Structure 1
């Protein structure tokens, strides 16, 4: 019966093998860095503080932590 297949239309065994293959590929793939080149110019010990300051500055810009008028 067609109604018993997943949304993708794959048979359950086929879908399970695909999921297992994707999980294996993900587990063996090297992690990708999402840093921008900008952070390479900031020294290691200073980088954490700089990122924290930026995060809090952006939060203040969005109105976070401000009392409602």
Structure 2
């Protein structure tokens, strides 16, 4: 099985973001921006996963360009 470096790094990044968000929430310094950071930081993995199951090469390219 070939390692997918993009999947691994996006997952690791999402875990770091979630942990950082938990720390902000625990210290009661949770603001609108921290919630937005959580949403955008974890959506990277969802976008990678969506592109992984593209129906064609152009579809894959389109999902990865934006």
TM over 0.5: no
Q: Higher RCO, 1 or 2 (CA under 8 Å, sep at least 6)? A: 2
Higher helix share: 2
Higher-Rg structure is 1
TM-score tier, shorter chain, comes to 0.3 to 0.5
